[in-house]
């Protein structure tokens, strides 16, 4: 029992360390929130008119055009925010593990994985803040969610679940190499996946081969669940698929990350 309490208190300590880092060096957070916000503006104002009219009724809204497209694209952009935040977590994990203080942690009688849990919990908070910012921008440019309080709680829960999973995966990716530059690029596909899913356009507008991929990759059920909760589109079996994917990614990412962290440091 005391090992569990130690793991909790040590993780809380590491989380405090992480929050101090964020407050002192907010550049990573600003990037993680700023990039998706810019993408949102680009998609809505540069492409939104054309895509919205082109897709017409398949967007589900009656209004069509740019206004309908805002409602369609926000869930995808929100998941892009999750991905950019996870990427910034990968950078900070990779950087952190090269520092002497983490070597010190390894020689201390603390819950070993707490170094990583601190990063993941810190990232969870950071991602939620970034998502709030991006959602705020979306509301300002005409996003009209229909969710009630229960719906919003569901949104927060689903986003926390996805962020948790993706972050553990990125923590592991950050430790695959000793090189910070490589570590920062490995999570790049996560940025692309929302686009190669139902994030920007419905998958039935894609060529058959791509559509197959788009429908079976995890970000599509993530997006569909989120879209359903926010704007009332049908969710179907997306919710249960999203939970399954998240459980698998979290477990895989966690075990992989733990194994990589416990590797004997080289040199």
Q: Which residues bind other proteins (CB under 8 A)?
A: 6, 9-10, 13, 16-17, 20-21, 24-25, 99-101, 103-110, 264-265
Q: Got the DSSP string for 50-96?
A: HHHHHHGGGGS-SS-HHHHHHHHHHHHHHHHHHHHHHHHHHHHHHHH
In whole angstroms, the minimum distance from the beta carbon of 21 to other proteins comes to: 5
C-alpha–C-alpha distance, residues 258 and 27, integer Å: 28
Nearer to other proteins, 165 or 175 (CB): 175
Nearer to other proteins, 120 or 239 (CB): 120
Q: Which of 137, 155, 134 is nearest to 228 (CA)?
A: 155
For the beta carbon of residue 68, count every other beta carbon within 10 angstroms: 23
Nearer to other proteins, 95 or 185 (CB): 95
Residue partners of 146: CB distance under 8 A and separation at least 6: 230, 231, 232
Are residues 183 and 93 in contact, defined by beta-carbon separation less than 8 angstroms?
A: yes
In whole angstroms, the minimum distance from the beta carbon of 256 to other proteins comes to: 21
In whole angstroms, the minimum distance from the beta carbon of 11 to other proteins comes to: 11
Are residues 206 and 102 in contact, defined by beta-carbon separation less than 8 angstroms?
A: no
In whole angstroms, the minimum distance from the beta carbon of 35 to other proteins comes to: 23
Are residues 252 and 169 in contact, defined by beta-carbon separation less than 8 angstroms?
A: yes
Q: What is the CA radius of gyration of the chain?
A: 19
In whole angstroms, the minimum distance from the beta carbon of 85 to other proteins comes to: 19
In whole angstroms, the minimum distance from the beta carbon of 261 to other proteins comes to: 13
Find the angle CA(158)-CA(163)-CA(165) to the nearest 5 degrees: 100
């Amino acid at each position: 029992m005391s090992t569990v309490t130690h793991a909790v208190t040590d993780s809380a300590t590491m989380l405090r360390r992480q929050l101090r880092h964020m407050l002192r060096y907010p550049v990573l957070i600003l990037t993680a929130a700023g990039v998706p916000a810019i993408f949102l503006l680009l998609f809505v104002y540069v492409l939104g008119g054309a895509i919205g009219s082109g897709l017409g009724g398949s967007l589900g809204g009656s209004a069509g055009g740019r206004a309908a497209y805002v409602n369609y694209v926000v869930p995808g952009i929100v998941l892009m925010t999750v991905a950019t935040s996870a990427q910034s977590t990968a950078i900070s994990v990779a950087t952190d593990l090269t520092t002497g203080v983490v070597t010190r942690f390894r020689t201390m009688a603390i819950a070993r994985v707490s170094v990583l849990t601190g990063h993941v919990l810190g990232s969870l908070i950071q991602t939620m803040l970034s998502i709030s910012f991006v959602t705020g921008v979306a509301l300002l440019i005409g996003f009209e969610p229909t969710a009630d309080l229960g719906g919003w709680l569901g949104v927060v829960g689903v986003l926390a679940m996805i962020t948790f999973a993706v972050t553990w995966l990125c923590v592991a990716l950050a430790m695959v190499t000793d090189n910070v530059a490589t570590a920062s690029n490995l999570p790049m596909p996560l940025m692309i996946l929302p686009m190669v899913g139902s994030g920007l356009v419905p998958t039935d507008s894609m060529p058959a081969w791509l559509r197959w991929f788009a429908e079976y990759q995890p970000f599509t059920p993530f997006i569909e669940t989120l879209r359903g909760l926010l704007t009332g589109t049908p969710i179907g079996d997306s919710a249960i698929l999203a939970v399954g994917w998240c459980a698998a990614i979290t477990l895989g990412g966690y075990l992989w990350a733990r194994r990589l962290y416990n590797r004997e440091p080289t040199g």
